[in-house]
Amino acid sequence: MAKVAIVTDSTASLAPADAAKENIAVVPLQVIIGAAVHTEGVDVTADMIAEALASFVPVSTSRPTPDDFLRVYRDLADEGAEAIVSVHLSSKMSGTYDSALLAAKDSPVPVTVVDSAQVGIATGFAAGRAAEARDAGKDAAEVAAAARGAGESSTILLYVDTLEYLKRGGRVGPAAALIGSALAVKPILTIKDGVVVPLERVRTAAKALARVEALAVESAQSCDKGFQIGVQHLANPSIANAVAGRLAVALGVDSIPVDEVGASIGAHVGPGMISVTVTPRC
């Protein structure tokens, strides 16, 4: 059986310790704040992003280059990998997937590039499923299939204080932005076919969060084989922890992990964001 290595990108929100434990290589995106270029996971934090956005300092992101990926692929081959599965955020929201595809052409070992069609920890869960399949002795095709399956089954429920940041970054269309501004509602967003789309419209933040929790519980309970779940936020820890606490009670689990969203995603969603990601094991 070929030795399979797993690669993902920094939008997957894998903590360095978790990536090391699961033996997953992480290729970082670049985050540009004003005129300064930073490397996600190295010298930029979500707090820096929130502060910049609040101060109207321009924030943008840049995908890894094909050379960035190729260096990682070559290093993994030198370490003994005979095949690589590279799992990345939605190709409709970033050119990261395309960079990985270009690098794969020059890799010394075969690379299967997987579009998770997701963002944030949903991509991280997909990479984690790939690692589980690898550790179970599956071949590269089966490892890639595990990642794709996780992405396809994941549900992301996203609450934002305003759609303005998504609109600026081109991550949500003008019609969706109008839903929030013209009707004075709090939209619940999700990821469908790899893009951000409105799911429901709710009048208040409290009702929106309650609905996010209800939908998350429904998704988690849709599979009798278990699920993975996580809460993320940007500059909103108290609300995120409260949401996680209520979800834990509703789902009968001890706790649900809460972390701040990565800088590259935070740049597009803005301060106040709360998201719940559920990936069933069915």
pLDDT at residue 6 tops 80: yes
The predicted-structure confidence for 194-206, as pLDDT tens digits, reads as follows: 988 888 888 888 9
The answer to whether the CB of 119 falls within 8 A of the CB of 87 is no
Burial class, 164, CB count within 10 angstroms (exposed 0-12 / middle 13-18 / buried 19+): middle
**3-class secondary structure, 111:** strand
Return the sign of the alpha-carbon dihedral for residues 163, 160, 97, 36: positive
Mean pLDDT, the chain, rounded, equals 91
pLDDT of residue 172: 63
The predicted-structure confidence for 238-277, as pLDDT tens digits, reads as follows: 999 999 999 999 999 999 999 988 877 887 788 889 999 9
Backbone angles phi, psi at 38, to 5 degrees: -120, 160
Count of other CB atoms within 10 angstroms of residue 202: 18
The predicted-structure confidence for 86-144, as pLDDT tens digits, reads as follows: 999 999 989 999 999 999 999 999 999 999 999 999 999 999 999 999 999 999 999 99
User: For the domain bounded by 4-29+64-152, which CATH number is listed?
Assistant: 3.40.50.10170
Domain 155-280, second-level architecture: 2-Layer Sandwich (3.30)
Pairing of strands 274-280, 258-260: unpaired
pLDDT of residue 262: 80
All structural domains of the chain with their residue ranges:
4-29+64-152, 155-280
The predicted-structure confidence for 206-222, as pLDDT tens digits, reads as follows: 999 999 999 999 999 99
**Which residue type occupies 184?**
A
Distances in whole angstroms, Cα of residue 140 to Cα of each of 65, 79, 85, 88, 241: 24, 17, 7, 16, 37
